[in-house]
Amino acid sequence: MQTLQSFFCGSFPPQEKAARYRLRLQCWAMKPFMAAAIVCLGTLALAQAPASQPASPKTTYLRCGSLYDGKSDAARKNITVRATGEKIDSISEAAPAAGADVIDLSREVCVPGLIDTHTHVLLQGDITAADYDVQLLKESTAYRTILATVSARRALGYGFTTIRDLETEGAGYADVDLRKAISAGVIPGPRMKVAGRAMDVTGAYPLLGYSWELKVPKGVQEVDGADGGRKAVREQISNGVDWIKVYVDRSYFVRPDGVLDDVPTFTPDELRAIVDEAHRERHNVAAHAAALNGVHNAVEAGVNSIEHGMYISDADLQTMVAKDIYYVPTLFVGEYVAQGRAAEGAHVWVDMIKIHEDTFRRALKAGVKIAFGTDVGGFDWKIDPAKEFAIMVKYGMTPAQALHAANMSAATLLGMQDQIGSIEPGKFADIVAVPSDPMQDIQQLEKVDFVMKGGTVYRGQGSAGMQ
Ligand SMILES: [Zn+2]
């Protein structure tokens, strides 16, 4: 059929309107030639016949023993969640009808898919500077991207159905391609928001310390001046990033009064230009801001999230509340890397753990919005980033607050509050399950044994094979 159609009427996909129009024109031109016209009309009839109907979306029922829906802190017992296609379409106490496609989670606790708002899929652990440098010097972007596909798969297996990946650390815009491959269903992974290359000023970000005669790769795009900042924002957005990431401080030291001080990178003028340009283009800004001056400059410039925030003054916490700036504390990575970095002589990392805890407690008390984020990639992806939850609880959050940080709070920071973050009709069917109640034992969230993302099961009963 394709051959005949090509010969007489051109080889256009029959379902396309434009092709049908061209078919009509060509057929009109051939009117005098009856034999040809008969064939052509036959072809045209086929072209205008309704295309074969796509298979109706699959309906799956999850029977959850308990369910936290992400809106209420109370568990609901014996709940049936119905997912059709990618979305949740009903939640009820009624048992599924006989013969329905049911996944039995009656001995499990269901919670909304977890969201990690600070990851690095292109990085595979960098406790020491050498760990970092070797990835940029000895591994090609292609090789690092292959490793990143494994990290993305691990993230989903841990129950993180959405991540905000906050820069590729020298791997260009490979995160944009990963996001594309995941959303096209080429590889399994969480839905992604990405930040591309990130920005810092000249001379402030690794690789550093090599001979001045060598040109070594950098973990960021080096950007200077207000105009340079605006240009970099435009360039990064044109290359497909969702978020702009800036590094606003470095060279940390603890003052005698216990304040964590720093050397700020961008000037206030540069930061304001970057934030203004990003916001003008409807994109948000995440600031790596660990200490006194960096945090202050970032909140004054109006960034959307403070990443790490090991020390934040009380005045800046108040500004964060007033300007609705989120705090993404990344507590676990600090504890994890401190020992390795202290062994290298950087004892400040050990002192910073105490300062970080104090800041977290003050932020909680001040009512700053806190979103779950881990900096995984800074530590090995073989470690479950859900370890962050236990530290958030150890530092003063209730288990419900900690879970909320990885559900609706994180979803809202990502601007996806209408799509993810809770188990509600109309939202993506992103649901994970754990063996026992995480409100009694927050470390249950390190034991995710069932993962559904967008109505597809990736782990546990009904899984298509990814374990
Ligand atoms: Zn990071």
Written as one string, the DSSP assignment of 305-353 is EEEE-SS--HHHHHHHHHHT-EEE--HHHHHHHHHHHHHTT-THHHHHH
Confidence class of residue 400 from pLDDT cuts 50, 70 and 90? very high
Model confidence band, residue 36 (pLDDT cutoffs 50, 70, 90)? very low
Structure tokens at 304: 């959307």
Per-residue pLDDT, 3: 29
List residues, by chain if needed, whose CB lies under 5 Å from ion ligand 1: 375
Looking at residue 15, its pLDDT comes to: 37
Q: Strands 284-289 and 87-92, how do they pair?
A: unpaired
CA of 377 to the centre of ligand 1 (A): 8
Distances (CA, A) of 362 to 288, 359, 370, 403, 417: 19, 5, 12, 19, 26
Residue 467 has pLDDT above 60, yes or no: no
What is the spatial distance between Cα 379 and Cα 374, in angstroms, rounded to a whole number?
9
The Cα–Cα gap between 139 and 198 comes to 20
Lowest mean pLDDT among 157-161, 191-195, 332-336: 332-336
What's the alpha-carbon Rg for the chain, to the nearest Å?
26
Q: What pTM was estimated for this model as a whole?
A: 0.87
Q: For residue range 261-275, list pLDDT tens digits in order.
A: 999 999 999 999 999
Cα(462) to ligand 1 centroid in Å equals 34
378 Cα: distance to centroid of ligand 1 (angstroms): 7
State the distance from the centre of ligand 1 to the C-alpha of 423, rounded, in angstroms. 29
10: left (phi over 0), alpha (psi -120 to 50) or beta: left
d(Cα 413, Cα 402) in Å, to the nearest integer? 15
pLDDT tens for 429-464 read 999 999 999 999 999 999 999 999 999 999 998 886
Q: Is the pLDDT of residue 44 over 90?
A: no
- Kindly report, residue by residue over 149-165, the tens digit of the pLDDT: 999 999 999 999 999 99
3-state secondary structure of 383: coil
Among 122-126, 400-404, 424-428, the range scoring the smallest mean pLDDT is 122-126
Burial code of 335-359, b = ≥16 C-beta within 10 A, e = fewer?
bbbbebbeeeebebbebbeebbbeb
Mean pLDDT across the chain, nearest whole number? 89
